[in-house]
Structure 1
């Protein structure tokens, strides 16, 4: 596999930010959550990828978990008030807004793309592919 700046930590941090982008910023028009709120996305467009190397794994997991919990709460809030056909707060440059239904579909697509990247990274590390268990792995029988 060719050299890449994509790392498991970068993937996790990116997906945390994507959660917030789709289901907080675009859905409800909220400002980005920390730590992204302090980053100039134009000056540092790949910030999450490059900065993840300095973050401990626990911090990355926490960042992602908190983003997912906010996303779920935001969707529950919106769907309690109206249906999935409602338009999101986000408006494209040409004046269109996606439906609430569209945003989780876009998020699923983003996850699917990056799960493929994670598979490639894993295969380059240990040669295993698909659902091969790690060497020495014994499934629990209880």
Structure 2
């Protein structure tokens, strides 16, 4: 049985195999991010800190993109789902961050939650057919190919890094603090 903390985050298992531990920590980081963004209106999701243009809304959209990139495109080798399939990344490399200002909180949360749900399904499917060492379908430009274990560790790092940013922004919006 998964324990849940006072913020509704699932605690990673204390004694489990490598797969359950990695997935537990990724879900914990996702839940931490959801907590930091929860209950905010459009103004709260557009708030910035200092000279940075980074917003919680931008992070929601960026992390939806990152989920889609690593699990749909890289691991599975699938086509980009909307809205990523229509983006001209060459003309606007920061489209995910910039365009979030035009989206409602409901749109941003739905986009991110759908991406997380798709990612979970892809990982479940991949693990049913192989282990953590299985290679992604897409290789990097230099010919190297990350494995599922690397992708999961990278996603934990991605969320942990952005959760630090989210801490600062959320505190500036309404004083909410906590790990």
Which TM-score applies when normalising by structure 1?
A: 0.86
Determine whether 1:62 maps to 2:110: yes
Runs of 4+ in structure 1 off by over 4 angstroms are none
- Matching residue of 2:73: 25
Distance 1:61 1:127, change over 3 A: closer
Q: Which has the larger radius of gyration?
A: 1
| Match runs of 1:36-55 below 5 Å | 36-55=84-103
Report how many residues are paired: 131
Determine whether 1:14 maps to 2:62: yes
Distance in 2, matches of 1:96 and 1:128, equals 42
Distance in 2, matches of 1:67 and 1:89, equals 19
- Matching residue of 1:113: 161
In the TM superposition, residue 23 of structure 1 has moved relative to its aligned partner by 0.8
Aligned Cα root-mean-square deviation (Å): 1.4
In the TM superposition, residue 126 of structure 1 has moved relative to its aligned partner by 3.8
Distance in 2, matches of 1:70 and 1:128, equals 30
Distance in 1, matches of 2:118 and 2:174, equals 35
Q: For residues 49-108 of structure 1, give each alpha carbon's deviation from its aligned partner in whole angstroms, at most 9, with x where no partner exists.
A: 111111010111110111011101101111111111111112112211111111111111
Determine whether 1:83 maps to 2:166: no
Distance 1:106 1:2, change over 3 A: same
Distance in 2, matches of 1:68 and 1:84, equals 19
In the TM superposition, residue 124 of structure 1 has moved relative to its aligned partner by 2.5
Which TM-score applies when normalising by structure 2?
A: 0.69
In the TM superposition, residue 119 of structure 1 has moved relative to its aligned partner by 0.8
Match of 1:101, SS state, is helix
Distance in 2, matches of 1:29 and 1:128, equals 39
